[in-house]
Amino acid sequence: MNSSIHYRHWIAFHTLFSREVRRFIRIWPQTLLPPAITMTLYFIIFGNLIGTRIGEMDGFRYMDYIAPGIIMMSVINNAYANVASSFFSSKFQNHIEEMLVAPIPNYLILAGYVAGGTARGLCVGFIVTLVSLFFTQLSIAHLFITFSMVILSAVMFALGGFINGIYARSFDEIAIIPTFILTPLTYLGGVFYSISLLPDFWQHVSLANPILYMVNAFRYGMLGISDIAVTTAFAMILSCIAALTCFALFLLYRGTGIRN
Amino acid sequence: MTALSIRNLTKTYRNGLTALKGIDLDVNQGDFFALLGPNGAGKSTTIGVISSLVTKSSGSVTIFGTDLEKDPERAKSFIGLVPQEFNFNGFEQVKHILIAQAGYYGVPAKLAEPRADELLHQLGLWDKRNTPARALSGGMKRRLMIARALVHNPQLLILDEPTAGVDIELRRSMWAFLTKINQQGTTIILTTHYLEEAENLCRNIAIIDHGNIIENTDMKSLLNKLHKETFIFYLKSALPNDFTLTIADYLKLDDTTIEIEIDRDTGLNSIFTALTQQNIDVCSMKNKANRLEELFLGLVEKSEATL
């Protein structure tokens, strides 16, 4: 066991990440299947049935217009839910102690969970993308922007899920944020419409919604159109990731919710 | 070398409860050390601080010369912890739990796997290696926690009531296992409510009560402090009506059973002589309570009286 500290850290991170991936694959009927079914319904109802009556939006069929938003919605919801529920479960069953007694620095605990949540977000995003191929002809206008935006969004919401998991004292408390904050923000984040359709006042209010930036930047990556400047979207997301990372590390350092 | 050194350790919880009031403790490398105390005395808080599950209020903890606060990663790498409560993911398979725990200590799976297999064999869990942990019996779960604590070859093993709720056969096999790994060089700190366990296994002992260490010595010296022992004698025939015993206090429990409190200076021989002189035959005898238990109760009562 004379291995270097970097190697030991890599092994610890890999162990945590593998455990997280193994977990969401083991319970795939709860983690991977429901988003596929829900998003299929979105495509059928909003895209096919209602969308054909709406016509075009920003020069694209409505179905094609909403597809990037629906993919992004599934990514952020699942990245968030994975970390929040997994981290809270580890507190609830006390097996978080396995990590707390081990020589794992706080940033690696955070990185392991966030990587696991990001992996689930991307897995679900991939599944929903496959589903969308039955309804749309997907194209990618800007490959780098598409992939970097989906990964950064998953990371950002995985961090949010981690902080939720730290504060949560019951399973109810990991459902409150997704139900009362995340879902409304997602629906109001330009998944189903362009904010140019809104009155001026609500357009300005919408700019305070971080999901708007992600959806639009991702849509820009796929379709080449956006309500928001893509550089602004990247700056906003990177700033949020930096702030959430610092806050999560601070909570871990203080032992909030995990140490007496 | 000192395996564990604690200096002036205090812990006050948010609710105002002061669980540790500035304790000092040293455990030498290779020792089998007992930390005893009544419920709520501060044992689990002490172990919690050593294993980083509880944040100390002040003081220092040094593990094999490494300050836990200054270099937590190195200090933690020496420790294996068997906590009081089951704390593994019940949905994970037994072997996965062990390999993951080794991974947290930076041991790659290819090295952890043979070590995990060895421990699963030694602790009688090999047949359950692919079983989800929640499906194990209580005794198996205890053994799984011991295996998990040892999978990264720690130099200091801390066991917080490892045999609580374990049947006597399993308890004895765990004692044999712990003795073996101690002989192989692992320093062991044990808390237990079974004082017989501490007396049989441990060489040194500290007793903690109300957040203070009230005794810290080697087991032999501590037992030498016991001036009186109470024995129960089972007699062959009924005790005569005119029975008397002047050299010790006694209590007749029934016609053929008598309890005698014997001074260390008096000794057993003189008791037997006195009984023989009155034509009383003894079938068998036993200690009324474990010797350490008598001492422990005496020390704790004394400590409470001074509060």
Question: For B125-180, how does the pLDDT look when each residue is reduced to its tens digit (9 = 90+)?
Answer: 999 999 999 999 988 999 999 999 999 999 999 999 888 777 888 888 889 999 99
Q: What single DSSP character describes residue A61?
A: E
Q: Supply the pTM of this predicted model.
A: 0.85
Residue to mutate among B104, B110, B130, B156, with most A CBs inside 10 A, is B104
Token duo for residue B248:
């010790």
Does residue A235 register a pLDDT over 90?
yes
Which pLDDT score, from 0 to 100, does residue B306 have? 60
Mean pLDDT of B60-76: 95
pLDDT band at A52 (very low <50, low <70, confident <90, very high): confident
Question: How far is it, in rounded angstroms, from Cα B289 to Cα B45?
Answer: 28
Angle between helices B109-122 and B138-150 (to 10 degrees): 140
Q: Tokens at residue A14, please?
A: 């890999």
Q: Nearest to residue B181, comparing CAs of B123, B230, B221?
A: B123
Least CB–CB distance from A259: residue in B54, B87, B89: B54
**In the predicted model, what is the mean pLDDT of chain B?**
89
CB contact under 8 A, B86 and A94: yes
Q: Work out the angle at residue B47's Cα, subtended by the Cα atoms of residues B45 and B53, and round it to the nearest 5 degrees.
A: 75
- Strand, helix or coil for residue A203: helix
Three-class SS string for chain B? CEEEEEEEEEEECCCCCEEEEEEEEEEECCCEEEEECCCCCCHHHHHHHHCCCCCCCEEEEEECCEECCCCHHHHHHCEEEECCCCCCCCCCEHHHHHHHHHHHCCCCHHHHHHHHHHHHHHCCCHHHCCCEHHHCCHHHHHHHHHHHHHCCCCCEEEEECCCCCCCHHHHHHHHHHHHHHHHCCCEEEEECCCHHHHHHHCCEEEEEECCEEEEEEEHHHHHHCCCEEEEEEEECCCCCCCCCCCCCEEEEEECCEEEEEEECCCHHHHHHHHHHHCCCCEEEEEECCCHHHHHHHHHHHHHHHCC
Cα B222-B224-B226 angle, rounded to 5 deg: 90
Report how far residue A183's alpha carbon sits from residue B117's, in angstroms, rounded to the nearest whole number.
47
**Which DSSP helix (H) or strand (E) runs through A57?**
strand A56-57
Residues 6+ apart with CB under 8 A from B264: B226, B227, B228, B229
Whether A101 sits inside 8 A of B76 (CB atoms) is yes
Contact between A121 and A158 under an 8 Å Cβ cutoff? The reply is yes
Interface contact B105, partner A, CB < 8 A: yes
Around Cβ A175, how many Cβ atoms within 10 Å?
A: 15
- Which tokens sit at B9? 């350790």
A97 with B76: Cβ contact below 8 A: no
Q: For residue range B81-140, what is the model confidence (pLDDT) as tens digits?
A: 999 889 999 999 999 999 999 999 999 999 999 999 999 999 999 999 999 999 999 889
Q: Looking at beta carbons, which residues of chain A come within 8 Å of B48?
A: 260
Quote the CA–CA distance of B45 and B213 in Å, as a whole number. Answer: 13
- Counted residue by residue, chain B has a size of 307
Per-residue confidence (pLDDT) for residue A1, from 0 to 100: 47
Q: For the segment B241-274, what is each residue's pLDDT rounded down to a tens digit?
A: 888 888 888 888 888 899 888 877 777 888 888 8
Cα–Cα dist B150/B33, whole Å? 17
Report the residue from A1, A97, A99 with minimal CB separation from B107: A1
Helix (H, G, I), strand (E, B) or coil at A56: strand
- What's the burial of B14, exposed, middle or buried (CB within 10 Å: 0-12/13-18/19+)? exposed
- Torsion sign over Cα B157, B160, B165, B167: positive
Tokens (6 digits) for A161: 């899920």
For residue B18, what are its two tokens?
């002061």
Nearest CA in chain A to B49: A260
The closest of A76, A104, A126 to A19, measured between CA atoms, is A104
What percent of chain A lies above the pLDDT cut of 90? Answer: 69
Average pLDDT, chain A: 92
Residue recorded with tokens 């060089």 = B185
- Name which of A44, A45, A64 is nearest A56 in CA terms: A64
Give yes or no for a contact between A149 and A47, defined as CB atoms under 8 angstroms apart: no
The residue of chain B with its CA nearest to that of A89 is B89
List the one residue out of B214, B236, B288 whose CA is nearest residue B42. Answer: B214
Tokens of A162: 């981690």
A207-231: pLDDT as tens digits: 999 999 999 999 999 999 999 999 9
